[in-house]
């Protein structure tokens, strides 16, 4: 069930907006990664010579070590954006930084040594957000907000929302959900200092208390 009280509804809407922001961030970073791979394939290989250049113009730049392993790639694509990827010794991408082509979003992605994205920071249309994933690349934590309010969402290994905390227009609230993502219990403090809580009684009813 969902809470029927306006404050809880607003908090849930804030959490859903954070979830959407982080999905956009994840999609943008994925597209950026794809564009860099494409640029690497299209880029021409040149002989390795030492040199000093005051200016270099290129669609993509790949930095390698003495054995030829790629360490970093810098690239740009008119339809997907501009980005930087850094690799570890095993060739796994462990850090990415990018800007979308329409300049409405930007982000940084941090991965573990296996190349699994674990932490993302981003801006989506001027709104900041942060996302954290587990070892299976399932999102477990998301934070974001703007002038309309801020919120934090905690999810389980199935990416089901289990807890949330939010603040908007002087009102703050905490909500808990079950394994199906259904409302279980919540507490709100209004800007005027009054507060209340509610819980689901297991029969589909919401019970309010003070």
pLDDT digits (tens, 9 = 90+) for 76-120: 877 778 889 999 989 999 999 888 878 878 889 999 999 998 998
Distance from C-alpha of 148 to C-alpha of 126, rounded to nearest angstrom: 12
For all residues of the chain together, what is the average pLDDT?
A: 79
Other Cβ atoms within 10 Å of 121 Cβ, number: 16
Is the per-residue pLDDT at 37 higher than 90?
no
Please tell me the pTM assigned to this model: 0.67
More confident residue, 30 or 181: 181
Distance from C-alpha of 209 to C-alpha of 32, rounded to nearest angstrom: 49
Confidence category of residue 47, pLDDT binned at 50, 70, 90: very low
Is the per-residue pLDDT at 178 higher than 90?
yes
The predicted structure's pLDDT at residue 76: 83
Nearest to 25 by CA among 139, 146, 120, 110: 120
Q: What is the pLDDT of residues 181-207, one digit of tens each?
A: 899 999 999 889 999 999 998 787 888
Confidence category of residue 21, pLDDT binned at 50, 70, 90: low
Q: What is the pLDDT of residues 55-68, one digit of tens each?
A: 777 778 888 888 88
Read off φ and ψ for residue 19, nearest 5 degrees.
-60, -40
Helix ranges (DSSP H) in the chain: 6-42
Nearest to 28 by CA among 160, 36, 92: 36
Strand partners for 130: 121, 143
| 151-158: Cβ within 8 A, 24+ apart | 151/11, 151/14, 151/15, 151/17, 151/18, 152/18, 153/15, 153/18, 153/19
- The two tokens of residue 54 are 């005051």
The predicted structure's pLDDT at residue 104: 79
Nearest to 175 by CA among 3, 22, 31, 44: 3
The predicted structure's pLDDT at residue 156: 94
Based on the number of CB atoms within 10 Å of its own CB, is 157 exposed (0-12), middle (13-18) or buried (19 or more)? exposed
The predicted structure's pLDDT at residue 80: 74
Read off φ and ψ for residue 134, nearest 5 degrees.
-90, -170
Give me the residue spans of the domains in the chain.
Answer: 6-39+60-204
Share of the chain above pLDDT 70, in %: 75
Q: Which fold has domain 6-39+60-204?
A: Outer Surface Protein A; domain 3 (3.90.930)
3 state DSSP class of 124: strand
Confidence category of residue 52, pLDDT binned at 50, 70, 90: low
């Amino acid at each position: 069930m969902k809470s029927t009280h306006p404050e809880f509804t607003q908090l849930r809407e804030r959490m859903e907006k954070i979830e959407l922001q982080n999905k956009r961030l994840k999609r943008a970073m994925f597209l950026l990664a794809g564009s860099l791979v494409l640029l690497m394939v299209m880029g021409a290989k040149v002989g390795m010579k030492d040199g000093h250049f005051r200016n270099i113009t290129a669609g993509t730049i790949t930095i390698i070590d003495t054995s030829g392993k790629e360490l970093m790639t810098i690239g740009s694509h008119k339809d997907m954006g501009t980005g930087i990827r850094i690799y570890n010794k095993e060739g796994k991408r462990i850090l990415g930084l990018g800007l979308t082509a329409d300049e409405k979003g930007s982000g940084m992605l941090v991965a573990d040594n296996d190349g699994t994205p674990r932490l993302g920071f981003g801006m989506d249309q001027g709104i900041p957000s942060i996302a954290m994933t587990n070892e299976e690349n399932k999102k477990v934590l998301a934070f974001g907000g703007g002038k309309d309010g801020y919120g934090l969402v905690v999810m389980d290994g199935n990416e089901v929302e289990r807890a949330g905390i939010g603040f908007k227009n002087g009102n703050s609230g905490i909500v808990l959900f079950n394994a199906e993502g259904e409302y279980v219990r919540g507490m709100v403090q209004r800007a005027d200092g009054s507060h209340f809580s509610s819980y689901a009684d297991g029969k589909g009813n919401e019970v309010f208390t003070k």
